[in-house]
Amino acid sequence: MKQLQNKIVLVTGGTSGIGRLVAIELARQGALVVVWDISEKALAALEQEAKEMHISIQGMLCDVSDREAVYRQSREIKERWGPVSVLVNNAGVVSGSTFLETSDEKIEKTMAVNTMAHFWTLKAVLPDMIARNEGHIVTIASAAGIIGVTGLADYSASKFAAFGLHEAIRMELRRLKKNIQTTVVCPFFIDTGMFAGVRTRFPLLLPILKSEYAAQRIVQAIKRGKKRLIMPRFVYSVYLLRLLPVSWFDGLADFFGVNHAMDHFKGRS
């Protein structure tokens, strides 16, 4: 079981949604958590909340889609508190519209935040992890990074890419025989507000996940060194369904409501 006491943890996009809950839970485990976000007001509110809870969370302004900002703020973390022991790549955005209805700018933003930012954060923290032969990389991907979803073309593409990057990095670290753990998280929709309005046809099989439950499972996975966390377990069936002819696969996706989940999407206000 991993001990997080006094470890330096970096959570990107950590002032709201699942990132905020994971940051708080990790801080409760005794870690010094640094949260990156683009809202100075939200960062200040989170720091105040952490102070009242007597846990250690430090907020830093950082647009993770800005490569130089990521490198600069990573250096500052190291100078102020020490090298990052656990990186949680959580920051994400969603357009929530069909492919042709999604503007070029939104597509570029989705890929910059949900995918390219992972390259920059990994480049920033991995060298120290390798030198110290210690660390943990956590990628918050999505069930939409396992199966394409109508209304999530750019989001699915970005999460498929994040999953692929994570897997390749895991393989490279394994080849280097480094004691650096990796955890990829692929949840179904979570009730954080980011996907407000989405629906599920079979809530017993594919429930909209409670945010507190999802955060606790993620932190447990980090502490236990679990390499892959998929929630709920029914999502694992996608791997088996891919063995079927494509027309059958598509028909089952329709039956389980995957292609209509976004029909009433509203998103976070």
Beta strands in the chain (DSSP E): 8-12, 32-37, 57-61, 86-89, 135-140, 180-187, 228-231
When computed from its CA atoms, the radius of gyration of the chain, rounded to whole angstroms, is 18
Name residue, tokens 């490198």. Answer: 71
Return the bridge partners of 32, or none. Answer: 8
Q: At 16, list the tokens.
A: 């709201």
How far apart, in Å, do the first and last CA atoms of the chain sit?
39
List residues with catalytic annotation: 155
Residue 131 buriedness (CB in 10 A; 0-12 / 13-18 / 19+):
exposed
Q: At 23, list the tokens.
A: 């940051």
Beta strands in 71-217 (DSSP E): 86-89, 135-140, 180-187
| Residue 228 backbone phi and psi in degrees, to 5 | -140, 130
**Angle between helix 104-111 and 153-176 (nearest 10):** 20
